[in-house]
């Protein structure tokens, strides 16, 4: 039995494609199987083609899989679009009416009249996806009782008739497959550990991570692909005594965060690139006034309105440099769903401890993907809190103290003796407007000293990981969700007998200089895979460390494929012994 | 502030204080010579916005002028930009979410300058801005009010489907009280949208718009008269169009007609217009449709599952009715002038 199964369900939006995929995920999570999914969204509001790919495995997996083992197609368009991705000995389960190409490289095809069973036998066309689940449950030996339980939960609120239709659909799909389809392939559901795993999307992980970190004040504005963060919080935060306020635009959202955070509450907003552009001015204010804030940017294809439902990692330079003046901020990027939980909590810990804005970059693919998460992840999240002052009676409160630590204790508004003004103007220690030479220099240095302190804070120590063979001279630096395909590519390259290593910083500002310098000192080639056109991380690395990089960029709206990275590794490895192979790391 | 005058006449009104001649009443829809949105748009089945845009464009083209549209991000943009040929002979500029009206300003300003240089004739062009309720009530409000305050000549159309539909049904400033949306979910702690919607046309009038009107595509003659007036009257005119949305209102796709009728009969949506005479600082209000049945709001809540939660809470239904009655009381002088019995409250809820 195989330990790993890549299954894809494709059809038209509205046919219940996603329900099939999600039900499989729920079953698998309960069995203790590891899951990573990838799904596409149509650009249309209703209709248009969509698919969900689920990779199920006995071991932890970093990526949703490149070729498809088991393809489920609900209509002819789905067959035409997805068949090229089916592996040579894969399985196709499709609508009986579909035409298949005459040339078959070796795959197994099963045809089931899903439409006819749903429309004629059950009398409910929309139950077609449940018929598909029934057939799948026979072919993959899924626990049928568990599916029945999920269906009961899902349709209980819609009344008995609807529930009965769906249970009937499941049975009929199962029966048809059992009596008409002789199992000719060996694919089964991989074996699980039996330990239930949590199942969540990247957006849910961010919302859960934020609430676990103590965030109770959320301000946001609808935007694809980040809206689900606000939606999850709107449904759950009020029960925890928190507040979700939908503002009239992103400028208002970030300014409300500034207000709530100054008042002492852990506050956050989430948006996508267009929203982060609008928030840029206030990032400068948060930096200047030293107010903690967490800003999540789920990146999508840009610039401008761009491709709202497609993924891209093209906001890094905006996150690093957006806003005028020397504005300090921390930029973080989690690599997976479980990583999103941890990094969100870290974002709050750092924002509160250092009193500055933290921008966390995820992307559409990571926001939307479902992944299993170990329960322990939720229990071991980084913690950090704001240093608060106990103002002395009589003495005026000094909010921005110079000398000593770069972080000065804050007094919350309303604290007796702690009255003060926070301001976007340059100011002296007490918050008075000051534009003399010494003050602006001293305050700028104070704000930037925080970044230096963060770099060496034990809080962030485990947030830069090394992968692969530490002696290899082929190096990869990547960020965010591109870490998944990179990890997969390292394993594939190893199988080919080629060694490579990678470093993945979760904090991109301030960069983990010590780790990166050590890394560059060891490798002779640096490949930088990322999902943007100009190579934004590569640009940062080149300007910071003065090293040559090999770019691997892609702007197709979908994640990098491991094979694309392997190709670059092979290419870089083959040039290792060519001329001018100097070690990196002397500069920086 | 302004003086208020009421038009005793109730119904279709092609006349205007501000125009020397009445505009055309187009009559039967099939007989209209102009085209609006043509085939190829990707609106959902039963979408009211498609009809709204269609009728606005057809009305504007009656003047024989070239329509230049500035459209904001939103459903209308999403469904008409994958196949731009659906706009026919209209020139379209899609800009950002916040600034439909600002782009409209740019269009108008450049047109004036080009006209002075002898490039184009402003008489041959009608400028229209089209945005949704999110792009108007929320993120685009500043640009809209500033555009009105500048007194520029053009038409601004708000296609109001009462929430952010293309991003997945989040509440907006135009979302009715009690509505279940993804950001105002109907739950135990909070029962749907707790806010009373803003009234766009009140804001536009206060900002100085010479003409504002509320319309619905079901009454195409009224809508098309209003669009023509908005184009003909000098200055920044605002038209708000009720836009049925089966996807976000969780209604069947074939009850466009029924839902609109219920909106009018329950007075959830009032067809009216207001025109401002600058010299006397007087605003003349005209009611363009009188509810025949005075149905209670509970009837309007029936066909739309977005209201499913609040139906079970009589105090919420009562509150929704109060919001309507408070608004409706404005029209009392017109009822009295016409000898129509003033009903203090709609039929028992």
**CATH code where residue A236 lies:** 3.40.50.970
Residue of A44, A249, A278 lying closest to B42 (CB–CB): A44
In-domain check, residue A310: yes
Q: Where a domain ends, among A362, A379, A396?
A: A379
A319 and A230 both lie in a single domain: yes
User: Are B170 and A239 inside 8 Å of each other by CB?
Assistant: no
Q: Where a domain ends, among A379, A396, A423?
A: A379
User: Are A221 and B167 inside 8 Å of each other by CB?
Assistant: no
B contacts of A45 (beta carbons < 8 Å): 42, 44, 75, 78-79, 165-166, 247
A395 and A370 both lie in a single domain: no
Three-state DSSP class for residue B4: strand
pLDDT at A14: 86
A431 and A527 both lie in a single domain: no
A contacts of B197 (beta carbons < 8 Å): none
Residue B150 clears pLDDT 70, i.e. is over it = yes
A247 and A358 both lie in a single domain: yes
In-domain check, residue A587: no
User: Which sign, positive or negative, has the C-alpha torsion A284, A285, A290, A292?
Assistant: negative
Task: Name the residue in chain A with its Cα closest to that of B188.
Answer: A239
Residue of A227, A235, A278 lying closest to B170 (CB–CB): A227
Range of the domain at A112: 4-180
Per-residue pLDDT band at B347 (split at 50, 70, 90): very low
Question: Could you tell me if B272 and B265 are in contact, meaning their C-beta atoms sit under 8 angstroms apart?
Answer: no
Q: What 8-state DSSP symbol labels residue A433?
A: B
In-domain check, residue A568: yes
In-domain check, residue A247: yes
A353 and A213 both lie in a single domain: yes
User: Are A234 and B141 inside 8 Å of each other by CB?
Assistant: no
CATH of the domain at A73: 3.40.920.10
A261 and A340 both lie in a single domain: yes
In-domain check, residue A580: no
Cis peptide before A303 (omega within 30 of 0): yes
How far apart, in whole angstroms, are the C-alpha atoms of residue B311 and residue B302?
8
- Phi/psi at A410 (5° precision): -100, 150
Task: Name the residue in chain B with its Cα closest to that of A234.
Answer: B183
Alpha helices in A32-127 (DSSP H): 76-82, 114-116
Q: What total number of domains does chain A contain?
A: 4
How far apart, in whole angstroms, are the C-alpha atoms of residue A488 and residue A490?
6
Q: Is A237 on the interface with B (CB under 8 A)?
A: no
In-domain check, residue A235: yes
A355 and A219 both lie in a single domain: yes
How far apart, in whole angstroms, are the C-alpha atoms of residue A404 and residue A126?
67
Residues 6+ apart with CB under 8 A from A467: A486, A487, A490, A501, A502, A503, A504
Task: Name the residue in chain B with its Cα closest to that of A226.
Answer: B167
Q: Is A43 on the interface with B (CB under 8 A)?
A: yes
What domains lie within chain B, and their CATH numbers? 3-337 (3.40.50.970)
User: Are B96 and A230 inside 8 Å of each other by CB?
Assistant: no
How far apart, in whole angstroms, are the C-alpha atoms of residue A521 and residue B58?
69
DSSP A345-374: HHHHHHHHHHTSEEEEEEEHHHHH-EEEE-
- Print burial letters for A519-556: b (CB count within 10 Å at least 16), e (below 16): bbebbbbbbbbbbbeebbbbbbbbeebebebbbbbbbe
pLDDT at A580: 52
Q: Which residue has the higher pLDDT, A105 or B217?
A: B217
B contacts of A246 (beta carbons < 8 Å): 170-171, 183-184
Cβ contacts from A onto B, under 8 A? 78
A322 and A342 both lie in a single domain: yes
A466 and A414 both lie in a single domain: no
Q: Where a domain ends, among A149, A180, A211?
A: A180
User: Are B184 and A230 inside 8 Å of each other by CB?
Assistant: no
A contacts of B247 (beta carbons < 8 Å): 45-46
A375 and A415 both lie in a single domain: no
CATH of the domain at A569: 3.40.50.920
A440 and A486 both lie in a single domain: no
In-domain check, residue A579: no
- Print burial letters for A158-188: b (CB count within 10 Å at least 16), e (below 16): eeeebbebbbbbbbbbbebbeeebebeeebe
In-domain check, residue A186: no
How crowded is residue B181: how many other Cβ atoms within 10 Å of its Cβ?
A: 25
Tokens of residue A128, six digits:
């077609």
Q: What 8-state DSSP symbol labels residue B296?
A: -
**Angle A324-A328-A331 from CA coordinates, rounded to 5°:** 105
Residue of A227, A244, A274 lying closest to B97 (CB–CB): A274
Per-residue pLDDT band at B344 (split at 50, 70, 90): low
Closest CA–CA distance from residue B176 to any residue of chain A (Å): 15
Give the CA dihedral B252, A235, A338, A11, nearest 10 degrees: 0
A407 and A371 both lie in a single domain: no
Mutation target to probe the A interface, by most A beta carbons within 10 A, among B92, B94, B170, B203 is B170
List chain A pLDDT tens, one digit each, 588 residues.
568 999 999 999 888 999 999 999 999 999 999 999 999 887 777 778 899 999 999 999 999 999 999 999 999 999 999 999 999 999 999 999 999 998 888 999 999 999 999 999 988 888 999 999 999 999 999 988 889 998 998 888 888 988 999 999 999 999 999 999 999 999 999 999 989 999 999 999 999 999 999 999 999 999 999 999 999 999 999 999 999 999 999 999 999 999 999 999 999 999 999 999 999 999 999 999 999 999 999 999 999 999 999 999 999 999 999 999 999 999 999 999 999 999 999 999 999 999 999 999 999 999 999 999 999 998 889 999 999 998 877 788 999 999 889 999 999 999 889 999 999 999 999 999 999 999 999 999 999 999 999 999 999 999 999 999 999 999 999 999 999 999 999 999 999 999 999 999 999 999 999 999 999 999 999 999 999 999 999 999 999 999 999 999 999 999 999 999 999 999 999 999 875 545 444 433
């Amino acid at each position: 039995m195989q330990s790993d199964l890549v299954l894809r369900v494709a059809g038209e939006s509205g046919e219940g494609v996603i329900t099939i995929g999600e039900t499989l995920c729920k079953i698998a999570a309960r069995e203790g199987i590891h899951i990573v999914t990838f799904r596409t969204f149509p650009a249309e509001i209703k209709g248009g083609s969509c698919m969900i790919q689920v990779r199920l495995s006995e071991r932890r997996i970093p990526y949703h899989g490149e070729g498809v083992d088991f393809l489920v197609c609900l209509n002819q368009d789905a067959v035409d679009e997805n068949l090229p991705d089916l592996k040579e000995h894969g399985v196709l389960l499709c609508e009986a009416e579909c035409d298949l190409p005459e040339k078959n490289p070796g795959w197994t095809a099963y045809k089931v009249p899903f439409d006819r069973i749903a429309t004629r036998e059950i009398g409910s066309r929309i139950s077609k996806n449940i018929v598909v689940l029934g057939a799948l449950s026979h072919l993959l030996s899924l626990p049928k009782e568990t599916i029945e339980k999920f269906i009961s939960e899902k349709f209980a609120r819609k009344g008995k008739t609807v529930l009965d239709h769906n249970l009937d659909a499941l049975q009929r799909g199962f029966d048809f497959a059992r009596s008409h389809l002789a199992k000719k392939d060996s694919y089964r559901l991989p074996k699980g550990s039996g330990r239930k795993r949590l199942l969540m999307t990247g957006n849910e992980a961010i919302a859960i991570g934020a609430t676990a970190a103590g965030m109770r004040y959320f301000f946001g504005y609808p935007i694809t692909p980040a809206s689900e963060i606000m939606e999850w919080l709107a449904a759950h935060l009020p029960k925890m005594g928190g507040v979700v306020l939908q503002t009239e635009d992103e400028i208002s959202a970030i300014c409300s965060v500034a207000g709530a955070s100054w008042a002492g509450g852990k506050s956050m907003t989430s948006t996508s690139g267009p929203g982060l552009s609008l928030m840029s001015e206030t990032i400068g204010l948060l930096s200047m006034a030293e107010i903690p804030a967490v800003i999540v940017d789920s990146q999508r294809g840009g610039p401008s309105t761009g491709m709202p439902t497609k993924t891209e990692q093209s906001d890094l330079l905006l996150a690093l440099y957006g806003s005028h003046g020397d504005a300090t901020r921390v930029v973080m990027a989690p690599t997976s769903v479980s990583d999103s939980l941890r990094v969100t909590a870290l974002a709050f810990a750092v924002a509160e401890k250092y009193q500055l804005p933290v921008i966390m970059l995820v992307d559409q693919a990571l926001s939307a993907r479902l992944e299993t998460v170990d329960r322990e992840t939720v229990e071991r999240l980084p913690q950090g809190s704001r240093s608060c002052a106990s103002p002395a009676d009589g003495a005026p409160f000094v909010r921005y103290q110079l000398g000593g630590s770069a972080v000065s204790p804050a007094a919350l508004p309303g604290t007796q003796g702690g009255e003060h003004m926070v301001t976007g103007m340059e100011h002296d220690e007490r918050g008075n407007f000051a534009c003399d030479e010494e003050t602006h220099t001293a305050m700028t240095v104070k704000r930037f000293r925080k970044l230096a302190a963060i770099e060496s804070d034990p809080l962030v120590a485990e947030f830069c990981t090394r992968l692969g063979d530490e002696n290899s001279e082929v190096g990869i630096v990547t960020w965010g969700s591109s870490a998944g395909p990179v990890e997969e590519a390292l394993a594939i390259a190893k199988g080919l007998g080629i060694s490579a290593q990678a470093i993945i910083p979760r904090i991109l500002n301030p960069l983990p200089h010590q780790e990166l310098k050590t890394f560059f000192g060891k490798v002779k080639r640096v490949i930088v895979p990322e999902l943007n056109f100009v190579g934004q991380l590569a640009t940062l690395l080149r300007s910071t460390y003065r090293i040559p990089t090999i770019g691997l960029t892609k702007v197709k709206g979908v994640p990098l494929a491991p094979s694309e990275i392997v190709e670059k590794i092979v290419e870089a490895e083959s040039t290792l012994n060519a001329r001018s192979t100097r070690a990196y790391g002397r500069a920086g | 502030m302004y003086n208020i005058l009421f038009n005793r006449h109730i119904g279709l009104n092609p006349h205007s204080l501000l125009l020397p001649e009445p505009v055309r009443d187009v009559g039967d829809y099939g007989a209209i010579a102009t085209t609006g949105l043509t085939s190829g748009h990707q609106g959902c089945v039963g979408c009211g916005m498609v009809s709204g845009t269609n009728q606005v464009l057809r009305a504007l083209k009656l003047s024989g002028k070239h329509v230049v549209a500035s459209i904001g991000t939103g459903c209308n943009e999403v469904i008409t930009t994958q196949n731009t040929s659906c706009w026919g002979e209209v020139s379209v500029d899609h800009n950002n979410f916040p600034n439909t009206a600002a782009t409209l300003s740019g269009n108008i300003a450049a047109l004036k300058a080009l006209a002075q240089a002898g490039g184009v004739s402003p008489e041959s062009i009608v400028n229209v801005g089209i945005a949704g309720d999110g792009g108007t009530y929320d993120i685009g409000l500043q640009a809209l009010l500033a555009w009105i305050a500048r007194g520029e000549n053009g038409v601004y159309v708000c296609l109001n489907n009462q929430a952010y539909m293309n991003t997945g049904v989040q509440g907006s400033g135009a979302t009715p009280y009690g509505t279940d949306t993804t950001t105002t979910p109907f739950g135990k702690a909070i029962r749907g949208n707790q806010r009373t919607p803003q009234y766009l046309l009140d804001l536009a009038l206060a900002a100085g718009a010479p003409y504002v009107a509320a319309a619905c595509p079901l009454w195409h003659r009224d809508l098309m008269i209003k669009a023509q007036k908005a184009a003909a009257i000098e200055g920044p005119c605002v038209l708000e169009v009720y836009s049925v949305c089966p996807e976000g209102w969780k209604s069947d796709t074939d009850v466009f007609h029924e839902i609109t009728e219920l909106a009018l009969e329950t007075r959830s949506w009032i067809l009216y217009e207001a025109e401002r005479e600058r010299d006397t600082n007087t605003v003349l209000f005209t009611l363009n449709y009188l509810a025949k049945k005075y149905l209670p709001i509970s009837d309007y809540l029936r066909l739309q599952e977005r209201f499913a939660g609040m139906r079970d809470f009589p105090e919420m239904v009562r509150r929704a009715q109060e919001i309507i009655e408070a608004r409706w009381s404005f029209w009392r002088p017109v009822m009295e002038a016409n000898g129509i019995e003033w009903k203090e409250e709609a039929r028992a809820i």
